[in-house]
Structures are given as C-alpha cells and as structure tokens.
Amino acid sequence: MESEDRIDRVRSRAETAARLNVSLRTLRRLELRGEIERVQITERIIGYRDSAIERFLEERTGAAR
C-alpha cells in the first residue's frame, strides 16, 4: 500500500509530546511558532496528524523515526 493510501491517524497532545520527547509546554510553543501543524477536533481538543509529526521529525532530523 502506498503512503498516500494510509490512514492519517490523529494523535493527542500527550501522545505527540511523548513521540517527540518534549514537554506539553514545548509542544505548544512549537505549535505557536508554526513548526508543527495541529488539528482542531473540538473547541477544547487539539490533535496532531501522523503526517505532521513525521514532517516535523524529517525537518528536524533529516529522517522520520
């Protein structure tokens, strides 16, 4: 299956922070600076697509984890 056909799962803030090995506060800063794209699920719930997380990691490290 090609990557375009994959389901792009949305992760919680806690899952994303753990994946990136950063605090929730740092994740929020990255978001505010536009370094990682977020998804507004409801008025109070924010998520991050796997593709956004992978893109962030690639930009930071040169390779996805």
pTM for the full model?
Answer: 0.79
Report whether 59 contacts 52 (CB < 8 A): no
Coil, helix or strand at residue 65: coil
| Cα end-to-end span (Å), the chain | 19
Phi (first) and psi of residue 3, to 5 degrees: -60, -30
For residues 61 and 15, the model is more confident at 15
For residues 4 and 40, the model is more confident at 40
Helices 24-32 and 13-20, packing angle to 10 deg: 90
Query: Quick check: 65 pLDDT over 70?
Result: no
